[in-house]
A and B are shown apart, each in its own frame.
Chain A
């Protein structure tokens, strides 16, 4: 349970940021994050008209409740629940305010309406009975909201999980499917299938890309009889941030210059410049192999397949 410092005598009580020590704030925030209830004893002064200030206190409990669409607060004085006090509270906050001290209970009893549902600062029995009566009453009624504001004030730094309920995916989604890796050959021949990895192109498996040591091969997918009208291949070394294609430089490599080697089978080369290779397959067993990349760097390869029925350029 946290304890706020006693406010100054003779001054209207106010919820100011320094009212709770940093240590109390920190411990309370951590407890709330774990959905635990946090209770504060809030001391304050009550001064009857013509009398001396007297110290009293009340308790406020806060707890996060997942799924609560609108915050709810319960005010209890001497065992009586006041059903008419409904402060505006944020979602998922459940608050309880307990008044048990006889002095404060009498103070609040004096501003209670006959139905015992509300505390009213204009109550005839109350408004001339206390020094700073209205401001003290507002201080009490605002306690759940103000304390919550202090506790919710953001800590510096970073929170990885705060928006997990809104933006997240199941961890299984990021685990790659286990792949079979056939044996590898650096110089695969026609008709062989020595690739280290084969992947189907998108949802229309017209072509496959195979990884080779320091290169790749694009070829027709097995069982696909139609031959694409044109295939555009773009390559770039991976970068740590951003789009590798946008960051490509001819100093990285150029497909028409050494050490890059392009080998083709049943393919006409339409364009080969910098990092772009456009080919026209001429038979169902077509393939184009590009090698000579720096094998210490990852390579990103983009393949655009234009089918005969396609009239757009697709770029």
Chain B
């Protein structure tokens, strides 16, 4: 069992209470609007509300007034973000008075809605970035969370990754395996309930929901061994391939190409 102890009693703002939407601002840049529902969360009325946009080392903070009197800032333009770079968002509630400066509540890694996009009910776990990878087709960056990097020189790279049976069969099992290895072996997280907002826990949860994946190696007799973890990862990858009929679809695709 692993637990994260938050001594300052920082609360989590449910994601469904927040809606952030990007809007075109011309010349490839964006502005945004934020709809925040903070009532009923037990937050002090006079606490400050901030919305922050970030990506890598770029960061912008926008004051949104107080909990009981939200105020939309005049400037929403995400001017520090280069063209086509979409930021993630976080919302912070910051205390005043006796708890001056204390973060009372937070929601992080919020993916904004694009213009005209309807709010979804699913959370995407593997963002895609396009970069020059030389002759490599893909790479996996797990620096801060798993990101699939595709070679921008590959024609239809996004479509290949999304729909091609060959990519699904040959790349995703290995990508999935590497992510689970990072979670279970490198980061030593084997409990998806530790913090549902952490990407590691979300990937464990994703794995658990695949039909045929066994229970996670149990920790009741001590921390599971590396061998147990590797066995479980292999089972999860096999179940993933089974779910997507990886080999069968690859065979069908090859037959179609030959035919």
Contact = CB atoms under 8 A, between A and B. Distances in A.
B2 A163 contact: no
B159 to A, nearest CB: 4
Interface residues of A, number: 73
B26 interface: no
Interface string A293-315: 10111111111111101101111
A190 interface: no
B135 interface: no
B221 A312 contact: yes
Contacts of B126: 163, 166-167
Interface stretch (B46-54, B142-150, B231-239): B142-150
A98 B132 CA distance: 37
B129 A158 contact: yes
Contact of B219 (A168, A169, A304): A304
Contact of A305 (B86, B144, B219, B244): B219
Contacts of B196: 173-176
B222 A157 contact: no
B123 interface: yes
A160 interface: yes
B222 A306 contact: yes
Interface in A162-200: 162-176, 196, 199
Given A152-B156, A174-B202, A199 B3 contact: yes
Contacts of B155: 149, 152-153
Interface string B1-22: 1111111110010111000000
Interface in B199-237: 202, 205-206, 209, 215, 218-225
Given A296-B7, A302-B1, A163 B157 contact: no
B123 A171 contact: yes
Given A199-B3, A238-B4, A298-B7, A90 B156 contact: yes
B203 to A, nearest CB: 8
B71 interface: no
B164 interface: yes
Contact of A202 (B122, B197, B218, B244): B218
A302 B219 CA distance: 10
Contact of B157 (A154, A161, A298): A154
Interface stretch (A3-11, A99-107, A124-132, A211-219): A211-219
A306 B221 CA distance: 5
Given A91-B163, A148-B156, A170-B122, A245 B188 contact: yes
B186 interface: yes
Contacts of A297: 7
B62 interface: no
Contacts of A168: 122-125, 206
B256 interface: yes
Nearest to A69: B252
B130 interface: yes
Nearest to B168: A166
Nearest to A302: B2
A241 B157 contact: no
A205 B116 CA distance: 47
Interface string B83-126: 01110000000000000000000000001000010001111111
Interface string B159-197: 111111000100010000000000000111001000011
A171 B143 contact: no
A265 interface: no
A112 B8 CA distance: 77
B222 A232 contact: yes
A299 B172 contact: no
Nearest to B219: A202
Contact of B220 (A159, A199, A202): A202
25 contacts: A92-B163, A154-B150, A158-B130, A161-B111, A162-B124, A162-B161, A163-B126, A163-B128, A163-B148, A173-B123, A174-B123, A175-B196, A202-B1, A203-B215, A211-B6, A216-B5, A246-B186, A295-B7, A300-B3, A301-B5, A303-B1, A304-B223, A306-B222, A307-B221, A310-B222
